[in-house]
Amino acid sequence: MKRTLILFQKAVRAVGCANGQGGKHLGCESAVSILRNSPHLKNVKVPIEWSAVVEEVATGRQWNALQGVTQTNRRLARETRKVIESGEDLVVFGGDHSCAIGTWSGIAAALRPRGELGLIWVDAHMDAHTPESTPSGNIHGMPVSHLLGFGEKNLIQIEDQMPKIFPHNFCMVGIRSYEEGEQELLEKLGVRIFYMHEVERRGITDVMQEAVYIATRNSCGFGMSIDIDGFDVSFAPAVGTPAEGGINAEQFMKALLTVDLSKLVATEIVEFLPRFDDQNKTSERLVASLVESIYATKFFQQNSAAHIKQQVQISDKAAEVIESRQKQQQTV
Ligand SMILES: [Mn+2]
């Protein structure tokens, strides 16, 4: 006898954060609405289901943004925590990079009963200033220090009192523009920094393999926070703080094919500033390609069939085997 079975289609849950007050230029707050309507993002091979968009609370610029950034990040943390607690894959679309405080605070809290969170920070900048060391006062230059537990009290205690990231689970890739104060903090903490010159010398594949090792060896899951200014500006022209040189985005996506993404719990993509994009929408396309390559790779590694929706006519015996395998996966 033959019967029809619908194979499980795995989707990535998307959360948006429409924030921009923490950036050097305003404009990142419009990235989420552009991405939600983006034909490029709609056409990616991996299904994306939007679950929430957090609107920004704006209280001013530079340090006056603090109160609003705190409230926005509290809201965002609640959303990311929910998705991770439900066991789903999560992609967060920013916003300026200050949203990382909320994204990873929520995720760290969700994982806390199981273990520590690992994090790979892809960026041109260190984003590790404290309120004392910052020359600009822009909070998008401070998420790393706050996630590590240094800085403004209200920003380091979102969801729980613990540091969100421990230095031994954290590394940075693509760094080439930074100030002394933030470098000092990271070096004092022993954070592994893959500066751009090391990426150039070793190749991004080699570097990402070591980065995933660092982010997974002591953690129960890891994330990637991707500031698109980490890439060469030819792949991502729509950024507010471009830096010369940078990671080749195509090579980065190829490198992902060679790393184990089975412990990846979330990806965050930030600092897309739509009004600086070119006519060809190069940056918007990059965001879509990143999501597709990361999750197509992850789902393929987990189960080569699970991410493809298929209605198949198969024998009872084959249906039994597949159903029992799906059940096993659900109980893991
Ligand atoms: Mn950044």
Q: Does 305 score more than 90 pLDDT?
A: no
Mean pLDDT over residues 89-118, rounded? 98
Task: Provide the pLDDT for residue 217.
Answer: 97
Q: Is 19 exposed, middle or buried (0-12, 13-18, 19+ CB in 10 A)?
A: buried
CA 58 to ligand 1 center in whole angstroms: 20
For residues 157, 162, 165, 168, the Cα torsion angle rounded to the nearest 10 degrees is 150
Task: Provide the pLDDT for residue 328.
Answer: 73
CA 111 to ligand 1 center in whole angstroms: 24
In a domain, 316, yes or no: no
Task: Provide the pLDDT for residue 331.
Answer: 59
In a domain, 86, yes or no: yes
In a domain, 318, yes or no: no
Catalytic amino acids? Answer: 97, 123, 125, 127, 140, 227, 229, 271
Question: Which among 248, 252, 262, 247 has a CA at the least distance from the CA of 297?
Answer: 262
Q: Does 6 score more than 60 pLDDT?
A: no
Task: Provide the pLDDT for residue 304.
Answer: 56
- pLDDT-derived band of residue 327, with 50, 70 and 90 as boundaries? confident
In a domain, 317, yes or no: no
Task: Provide the pLDDT for residue 307.
Answer: 45
Q: What's the pLDDT tens digit per position in 184-211?
A: 999 999 999 999 999 999 999 999 999 9
What is the span of the domain harbouring residue 197? 10-308
CA 197 to ligand 1 center in whole angstroms: 18
H/E element, 5: strand 2-6
Alpha helix (H) ranges present in 194-281?
Answer: 196-202, 204-216, 249-256
In a domain, 322, yes or no: no
- pLDDT-derived band of residue 325, with 50, 70 and 90 as boundaries? confident
Mean pLDDT over residues 34-39, rounded? 97
- pLDDT-derived band of residue 260, with 50, 70 and 90 as boundaries? very high
- pLDDT-derived band of residue 176, with 50, 70 and 90 as boundaries? very high
Work out how many domains the chain is built from and give that number: 1
* Amino acid identity at 29: E
CATH code at position 75: 3.40.800.10
CA dist 103 and 77 (Å) reads 5
CA dist 51 and 34 (Å) reads 16
Task: Provide the pLDDT for residue 3.
Answer: 62
Q: Does 30 score more than 50 pLDDT?
A: yes
Nearest-5° angle of CA 146, CA 149, CA 151? Answer: 55
CA 84 to ligand 1 center in whole angstroms: 23
Q: What's the pLDDT tens digit per position in 217-245?
A: 999 999 999 999 999 999 999 999 999 99
Q: Residue 226 has which token pair? A: 């991707």
The mean predicted confidence, pLDDT, of the chain is 93
In a domain, 330, yes or no: no
CA 43 to ligand 1 center in whole angstroms: 27
Question: Which among 5, 2, 1 has a CA at the least distance from the CA of 309?
Answer: 5
Mean pLDDT over residues 97-107, rounded? 98
- pLDDT-derived band of residue 321, with 50, 70 and 90 as boundaries? confident
CA 126 to ligand 1 center in whole angstroms: 7
Task: Provide the pLDDT for residue 309.
Answer: 46
Q: Does 10 score more than 90 pLDDT?
A: no
Strands of the sheet with 116-122, listed across from one edge? 48-55, 12-18, 89-93, 264-270, 219-227, 116-122, 170-175, 192-195
Residue 315, CA distances (Å) to 74, 260, 321 in order: 50, 34, 10
In a domain, 4, yes or no: no
In a domain, 324, yes or no: no
At which residue do the structure tokens 């080439």 appear? 176
Q: What's the pLDDT tens digit per position in 129-175?
A: 999 999 999 999 999 999 999 999 999 999 999 999 999 999 999 99
Q: Does 310 score more than 70 pLDDT?
A: no
CA 23 to ligand 1 center in whole angstroms: 9
Mean pLDDT over residues 250-272, rounded? 97
Beta bridge pairs of residue 225? 121, 268
Q: Does 99 score more than 60 pLDDT?
A: yes
